[in-house]
Amino acid sequence: MDDRIIKTEYSEVMQKSFIDYAMSVIISRALPDVRDGLKPVQRRVLYDMHELGIRYDRPYRKSARIVGDTMGKYHPHGDASIYEALVVMAQDFKKGQVLIDGHGNFGNIEGDGAAAMRYTEARLHRIAQEAFLADLDKDVVDFLPNFDETEKEPSVLPCKFPNLLVNGSEGIAVGMATSIPPHNLGEVIDAVKAYMLNEDISTKELMRYIQGPDFPTGGIVTNKDELLSIYETGVGKIKVRGRVEKEKGRAGRTNVVITQIPYPMIGANIAKFLSDVAALAEGKKTADIVDISNQSSKEGIRIVIELKKDADVDNFINMLYKKTRLEDTFGVNMLAIADGRPETMGLKQILKASVDFQFEVNRRKYETLLSREQAKREIQEGLIKACNVIDLIIEILRGSRDRNMAKACLVDGVTEGIRFKSKESAVMAGYLRFTENQANAILDMRLYKLIGLEIEALINEHEETLSNIYRYEDILERKSSMAQVIMNELDEMKRQFAVKRRTRIDNCEEAVFEEKKAEETQVYCLIDKFGYSRIIDTAAYERNQDAILTENRFAFLCKNTGRICLFTNTGQLYTVKVSDLPFGKFRDKGVPLDNVSSYDSTKEQLLLAVSQSDLNLYRLLFVTRQAMAKIVDGGEFDVTKKTVAATKLAEGDELVSVAVYKEQKNIILQSCDGYFLRFLISEIPEKKKAAIGVRAMKLSGSDKIEAVYYTKNTDETSVAYKSRNLVLNQIKAAKRDTKGTKVRG
């Protein structure tokens, strides 16, 4: 037993296992192959459909049938990923060239998902059949065993054009990701031909053919001058805008109509765009919007924004570019599997890999075709020769006892045992020297082949075979001949499947939006106990004052152009622009403070929220868990940074209370052990925010400050403490830095 136990370092096992896992994800799951531009799951779906005979000229089949067959034979990783891959290959708004012809609900550009696989049907698109799968029977690619070694699958499909560029790809592996934009098929084919004619062509010269990405959603690429660097390095950012038109609206108004969207806006981001535009109006960023409607249909995108008569339309469009995702960025990282390893490649490298693959595929294709034609020539020559001595052959067949005897005579001239009509026939039979394949063909030949027209057809077929052999040998021996064959196939692909460019490539000036300054008004900021905040106008506050004070933890007056300050128990100060908070009704839910600031409600406790403008008028009282206290001038917190340290804390300490010092006279500190200390606030010195402060109460052992209360001399203030109602004003007054009075429940 001990001989089978391998002792090794745990870290080494973890390292090896993680590397194996990472490489499996990178090579076998997430990244496309540069040769056919497909991920393994996509390749397996297409090959399985080919094997099932679900071709472009045949009826549709249920998607569930395809997914199940693919999962059972080639891709045992769950049906969801397989169906998702199938759906994406059928969506014309995601792919430059769809590879699957879907029938049924395959989702839409607005983010609605496809129907369940049991409802939808699919078949191969013609381009997939002709450009990816047509030559698989000609030994053009290697076949590998599937996961359980019961089937064979192609290691790569013999794609006839650089699909990696035409359809692009997106995928996240372990420690790396790929993001390749789609391109125009016609332009890519022109670039391939240009590279084949001049392998020293530069990327800049190639870009005379490939202008840039061609997104299925159209749009406008605005940074044309940066594309050269992106295509040389394979990495960069492409800025894309939606296409906007102006139309005359009703009552003399102008409509801004969005007819094309940026590619990254596909899906749920269209709904987000609509909500962002609505938020601009609700947040008083613009008062120009009268109505917004999404009139998109199968014919295309059409989002209509109706503006007021006196609206500055150009400024409004620029605002959409600046404030919404109507202008977005597509991150490019042209990472793919090349020679079995992930590699970031530029445009020329991708074209080179594709062309090299095409030469390899065509070499194997024409070697197979040549071999087949040579085999046909051998048979044809044997049959033609047999027709010339058909009487002798018939005599041999009639005189032989079995097939083997006749075959031996035809191949080796063995005449023993065969009954001939004459000695001359026996002598002539001894000189026959057919090959074994020719002899089998003669023995299998039917009598109708002896008809004159059939013999003539055989001779014509033989001449055609000789012509094919000559042509195939020329293609295999001369690189220029093979290059011409590849270019002819590319021209045919372009003729059948190329479409006009949809995306405009240009150098556009950056959108300049002159934001109108909001009229400064007084509003109320409300923060409830769950940390949700919103802004309401003063009239709404006055109408619902009692309910607001009951239901909200903080409610204070501020300016709509100002900031609010959030003080937390960790000693941090977070500032939030009032304009970043939603303006709405008293009962609206609002937005979490976590979303508009660096405040983290899961790790911190909010102690005070106040208008920043009020801090200049007052001072703040700080008390920590370890009974350190100080007063700080509010002007020290008049900052523009989003996060600053509000105070200095000793190690292991935290704030218990932060309060605005207005009319309070006394401070009461309550400890966890039940001690209460009341003294005058005036005994606490004023310090800088960077100071720790002074000790306000003597604590024994592990005792800590639990709560802090403030009172005025004239007002009686009581709190619930254990089982009694404690009047704070009746606690014996003392001095700062004393132990206080023990209060029993």
Q: Kindly list the catalytic residues.
A: 119
Burial of 641 (0-12, 13-18, 19+ CB in 10 A): exposed
**Size of the chain in residues:** 745
Asked if residues 104 and 121 have their Cβ atoms less than 8 Å apart, the reply is yes
DSSP track, 271-324? HHHHHHHHHHHHTTS-S-EEEEEE--BTTB--EEEEE-TT--HHHHHHHHHHHS
Neighbours of 132 (CB within 10 A): 26
Integer CA distances (angstroms), 60 to 55, 187, 275, in order:
8, 31, 39
Cα distances from 274 to residues 242, 589, 625, 640, in angstroms, run 14, 20, 48, 31
Burial 476-498 (b: 16+ CB within 10 A, else e): beeeeebbebbbebbeebbeebb
What DSSP character marks residue 250?
G
How many C-beta neighbours within 10 Å does residue 621 have? 21
DSSP 184-216: -HHHHHHHHHHHHH-TT--HHHHTTT--S---T
* Identity of the amino acid at 366: Y
Separation between Cα atoms, residue 456 and residue 191, nearest integer Å? 47
Q: With beta carbons less than 8 A apart as the criterion, state whether 186 and 165 touch.
A: no
Handedness of CA 437, 438, 443, 444 (dihedral sign): positive
Q: Which two tokens stand for residue 596?
A: 């508009």
Q: How far apart are CA 648 and CA 475, in angstroms?
A: 82
Tokens 């020539």 appear where? 377
DSSP for 154-189, written as a single string: ESS---SS-HHHHT-EEEE-SS-EEEE----HHHHH
Residues 605, 529: Cα–Cα separation, whole Å: 11
**Angle between helix 347-388 and helix 185-197 axes, rounded to 10 deg:** 80
Name the nearest CA neighbour of 50 among 144, 154, 146, 143: 154
Q: Name 555's bridge partners.
A: 526
Upper half-sphere CA count for residue 140 (Cβ side, 13 Å): 23
